[in-house]
Copies of this chain bind each other. A is one copy, B any other.
Amino acid sequence: MASSQYSKTAVSKLGRLANRGTYDFATIHVLINTCPVLHVSFNDPEHPFPVVLPMLGCTGTFEDRSADPKTTAQDLYIHGYVSGRVFKKSKEAADRGLPVTVAATFLDGLVLALAPFHNSCNYRSAVAYGYATLVTDEAEALYAMELITDNLLPERWAKSRNPPTKAELSSTSILRIRIETASAKIREGGPSDDRADLKNKDLVKGTWTGVVPYWGTWGEPVESKDNGCAEVEPYIEAWRTKETSKARNHSFEAIGE
């Protein structure tokens, strides 16, 4: 089935280079869920600057866990400490919740042209806009904790101590963001040089152009001082090598020259 889309609104409609953009559920949900750090932004009426926090989170649908994220709008679950500012603000927010913006960005490469003006970056970027409220239902909070833990490292929830204690549950807050709209923007390929520059033979001969690919690497695990497990468990090794290799391959495929 084809992937469904978020509706374009005044806030999510892409301006410049809209041809790089998409409103596609699948693209947006995958970017959010594979991005190891999300940037969450919201307003605090006490000052004029938006607050921006790096946080962990992912998309999910508590009401229907079997829902296909390619065709179903998802909620975004964000995870943190109960006294955190964003959680306080969400608790105070009236009606629909606190308006928040969540950005998931991957840099895939530095694109080098003959002139700095034509330099660029290969990237994938998703931005979701929605209303955040605190999750108060214990079953939904547990669902979201497991979802966020396993979204980063699959199987970790089941393979470490669970369920959480009462104290742990009460000091962790989960925020559910109902996504109002979202968009993604992707830049791929090599440099696009100026014709006049390409005719300048000395410049062309003396200036390397192309893409330096960039990706996130998960390196060799280092055990803690209290670790008592003989070796790094296979699911951890499988995860980190697979993720690194996917990320690396993507940065090269994005060049496509």
Q: Is A19 an interface residue (CB 8 A)?
A: no
A39 contacts across to B, CB distance below 8 A? 39, 41, 52, 103, 105
Within 8 A of B (CB), among A194-227: 197-198, 200-201, 203-227
Residue A193 lies at the interface, judged by CB distance under 8 Å to chain B: yes
- Complex Cα–Cα for A211 and B222 (A): 5
Q: A198 to B225: give the CA distance in the assembly, Å.
A: 11
Cβ contact of A46, chosen from B10, B110, B153, cutoff 8 A: B10
A81 contact set on B, CB distance < 8 A: 16
Known A10-B46, A101-B52, A218-B213; contact A116-B226, beta-carbon cutoff 8 A: no
Task: Work out how many copies of this chain go into the complex.
Answer: 2
Could you tell me the distance in whole angstroms from the C-beta of A89 to the nearest C-beta in chain B? 12
For chain A, the count of residues having a C-beta within 8 Å of the partner chain is 105
Say yes or no for A6: interface residue by CB 8 A criterion: no
Bitwise, A87-123 to B at CB < 8 A (1) or not (0) is 0000000000001111101010010111111010101
A84–B157 Cα gap in the complex (Å)? 43
CA distance A140 to B202 in the complex (A): 29
- CB of B228 within 8 A of CB of A191, answer no
Whether B161 and A197, one on each chain, are in contact in the complex, defined by CB atoms closer than 8 angstroms, is yes
A198 to B110, CA, bound (A): 45
Q: Which residues of B contact A210 (CB under 8 A)?
A: 221-224, 227, 232
A152 touching B110, Cβ below 8 Å: yes
The reply to whether the CB of A67 lies closer than 8 angstroms to some CB of chain B is: no
Contact among B41, B49, B255 with A11 in the assembled complex (CB-CB below 8 Å): B49
A36 on interface, CB distance cutoff 8 Å: yes
User: Are B190 and A204 interface neighbours, CB within 8 A?
Assistant: no
Give the top 4 A-B pairs by smallest Cβ distance, nearest first. A204-B228, A48-B99, A190-B224, A50-B50
Could you write out 10 A-B pairs with CB less than 8 Å apart? A11-B46, A11-B49, A16-B83, A37-B123, A39-B105, A116-B145, A208-B233, A210-B224, A212-B236, A217-B248
